[in-house]
């Protein structure tokens, strides 16, 4: 009898321990699963589509398109960057396109190829089709679709903002490049390592030419770039500022200059006083996506190759700028007039 009770007690203890582990699964692990979606369109760019949709997600929620960098994949970058974790926390869905080695041996999105970076063609058209499929499947809000990416994915983010501005409310470029940079510099490598010599108007004209006749509104932009990046030089962040301030009719003088998490941060406001471009220069960081692993509200992501723990999570900062953390039952607050605190991109559900 004593041995039976001891065995029962041991079994109950084991079950309790297992339940404790399940109840305390880190949010990044809980949000790690992606679903592949097929048949989303003609897919001229021959990409794969993956997505993350939190259980019980109501209709009318935002969508974020997340584009990985070279050598990465959807399963690693979607959760590793923190985006699926935030989707679970804040209530939105995530689309994670994946490049195929048949298109690019290093699995880079072909941001530098005209056939993949033009409206209605190649990889850009495939990503646009994924957006349409996701909105239909989850009854998402077409007015609250954002796009972001790292490195080649960041450059492809610029492509999507320029070629399909009507689809995206905002974009986030991490260690990426301005639209048309490879053509302006004559080579993608010159663009990456040196930059292209263009005036703000010339940069803006490249965007306007990508969607002829489009009069706006244009997506707003957040840029994060490491000050020690030797793969995509930080000059590209300055070129992105010139490009998108010109598109928005703003000047190139920062209206806000401060620090966030110890890193220089700037905002550039449009003619109506609303922030249209925001930048973070991550001091001492090389080439990669800023993450800040942990359980605090401001933390997200998992450190790994090109996912760099710098005590600032890029996904969190972008998500707050886009108002993703606002709405009934969502933690966080907004301060009017600040893009970094949701100003100008405030969730319409919030009074």
Catalytic residues, which ones? 151
Tell me the helices (H) and strands (E) count for the chain, helix number first. 12, 12
Dig out the tokens for 74 from the structure. 């959807």
Q: Look at residue 149 and give its three-state secondary structure.
A: strand
- Cα separation of the two ends of the chain: 65
Kindly give the pairing relationship between strand 256-260 and strand 263-269: antiparallel
DSSP type of residue 230:
S
d(CA 280, CA 139): 33
Give the separation between CA 4 and CA 184, rounded to whole angstroms. 78
| Strand partners of residue 267 | 256, 278
**DSSP code at position 84:** H
The token duo for 46 is: 């021959």
How far CA 252 is from CA of 226, 246, 277, 310, in Å, comes to 20, 8, 10, 27
């Amino acid at each position: 009898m004593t041995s039976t009770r001891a065995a029962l007690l041991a079994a109950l203890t084991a079950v309790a321990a297992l339940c404790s582990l399940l109840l305390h699964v880190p949010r990044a692990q809980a949000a790690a699963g992606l679903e592949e979606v097929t048949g989303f369109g003609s897919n001229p760019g021959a990409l794969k589509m993956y997505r993350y949709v939190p259980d019980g997600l109501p209709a009318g929620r935002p969508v974020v398109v997340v584009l990985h960098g070279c050598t990465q994949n959807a399963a690693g970058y979607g959760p590793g960057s923190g985006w699926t974790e935030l989707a679970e926390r804040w209530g939105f869905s995530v689309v994670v396109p994946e490049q195929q080695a048949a298109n690019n041996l290093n699995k880079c999105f072909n941001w530098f190829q005209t056939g993949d970076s033009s409206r209605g063609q190649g990889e850009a058209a495939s990503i646009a089709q994924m957006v349409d499929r996701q909105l239909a499947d989850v009854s998402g809000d077409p007015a609250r679709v954002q796009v972001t990416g790292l490195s080649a994915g960041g450059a492809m983010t610029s492509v999507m903002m320029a070629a399909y501005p009507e689809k995206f409310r905002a974009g986030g470029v991490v260690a990426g490049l301005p639209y048309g940079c490879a053509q302006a510099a004559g080579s993608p490598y010159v663009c990456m390592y040196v930059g292209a010599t263009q005036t703000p108007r010339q940069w803006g004209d490249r965007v306007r030419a990508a969607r002829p006749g489009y009069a706006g509104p244009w997506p707003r932009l957040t840029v994060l770039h490491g000050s020690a990046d030797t793969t995509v030089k930080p000059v590209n962040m300055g070129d992105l500022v010139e490009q998108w301030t010109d598109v928005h009719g703003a000047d190139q003088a920062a209206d806000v200059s401060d620090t966030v998490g110890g890193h220089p941060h700037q905002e550039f406001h449009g003619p109506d006083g609303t922030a249209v471009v925001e930048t973070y220069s991550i001091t001492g960081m090389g080439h990669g996506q800023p993450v800040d692993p942990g359980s605090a509200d401001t933390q997200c992501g998992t450190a790994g190759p090109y996912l760099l723990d710098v005590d600032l999570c890029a996904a969190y900062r972008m998500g707050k700028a886009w108002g993703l953390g606002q709405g009934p039952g969502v933690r966080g607050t907004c301060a009017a007039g600040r893009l970094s605190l949701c100003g100008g991109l405030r969730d319409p559900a919030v009074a």
